[in-house]
Amino acid sequence: MEPKDIQNASMDDMVFENRNKSYGAYILRKIYNKNVTVSTIVASSLFAIFIATPYLIKAFSEVNTKDKDIDYSEVVLDQAPPQDKNEPPPPIVEPPPPLNSTVQFTPPVPVEDEQVKDNRVVTADDLDHIDAGPSDVVGDPNGVDRSLDDSNKGPVEVEDNTVQTYVEIMPEFPGGEGALMAYVKKYTVYPAIALENDIQGKVVVDFVVGKDGKISQVKVVKTLGFGCDEEAIRVVKSMPAWTPGRQNGRNVNVSYKLPIKFSTR
């Protein structure tokens, strides 16, 4: 290569000077820049398509769901009725009546003079206006005899708040199991996001039917997602009071599991 041509010559021309340019290496070096440009364009296009795919799927799903014939045999879309939050006031417990005064009176026991600690003697006249008792107690002159006070007598029954799983008589929804299924079907709202994504399945809700029949401790033990879990909890919490479960003739707290199916078929 002439010295005057070196300034305008490319690296490929200098490397392959006086060599066989028909060899494949020279051709690959010549088209390298073109290949890099084409690869960059293709990679950028594929990346853009990958990012846009979820939005395209969502757009087509919205169009398809408008014309989709949905069978609400398990769940009917509607709003639940408002809950009645008015609870009856607690019962009024009246205080026990006032008690009268007593004077200590114990049967006399013969002892030596030096062992006598109290020389006081309760006479019959003293007992005309005050009752005898194990100790001196100041009370209400118009109070009742302490022997009639049974407010602190007898064993105190401790309230049992344990939650049972199986009892002699299980709790029941008003009207029975058929009414329960009808209630769930009527007041369950199919979540829009689950409908758009064709989410179907079963949510299992665990809750406690209290001794008063009220629902509490509601939680999902088998989830489905897409808003179905929250909707199942809402429906269970909106239920009216059940007939409580019974064990040994007494109302008890009972755990209950309810499956709620979401289906568009």
- Return averaged pLDDT per consecutive 10 residues of the chain, 265 residues in all: 58 63 65 83 90 81 51 43 54 68 63 62 63 65 62 60 92 94 93 91 95 95 94 96 94 95 84
The reply to whether 35 and 63 lie within a common domain is: yes
pLDDT value for 184 = 94
CATH code of 176's domain: 3.30.2420.10
Q: Which domain holds residue 213?
A: 163-262
pLDDT value for 119 = 55
Q: Which of 148, 176, 209 is the last residue of a domain?
A: 148
Alpha-carbon torsion (215, 192, 204, 185), positive or negative: positive
Residues facing 201 on adjacent strands: 262
Residue 188 in any domain: the answer is yes
Residue 92 in any domain: the answer is no
| pLDDT tens profile 37-80 | 888 999 998 998 988 888 888 776 665 544 444 444 444 444 44
Count of structural domains, the chain: 3
The reply to whether 179 and 219 lie within a common domain is: yes
Residue 153 in any domain: the answer is no
The reply to whether 198 and 256 lie within a common domain is: yes
The reply to whether 105 and 43 lie within a common domain is: no
Residue 52 in any domain: the answer is yes
The reply to whether 133 and 176 lie within a common domain is: no
Q: What is the 3-state secondary structure (H, E, C) of 97-136?
A: CCECCEEECCCCCCCCHHHCCCCCCCCCCHHHCCEEECCC
The reply to whether 168 and 256 lie within a common domain is: yes
pLDDT value for 80 = 41
Residue 86 in any domain: the answer is no
Tokens encoding 154: 């007898």
Residue 25 in any domain: the answer is yes
Label the pairing between strands 131-133 and 163-164. unpaired
Contact (CB, 8 A) for 100 and 145? yes
Residue 4 in any domain: the answer is no
Query: What single-letter amino acid sits at 157?
Result: E
Residue 79 in any domain: the answer is no
> Quick check: pTM over 0.95?
no
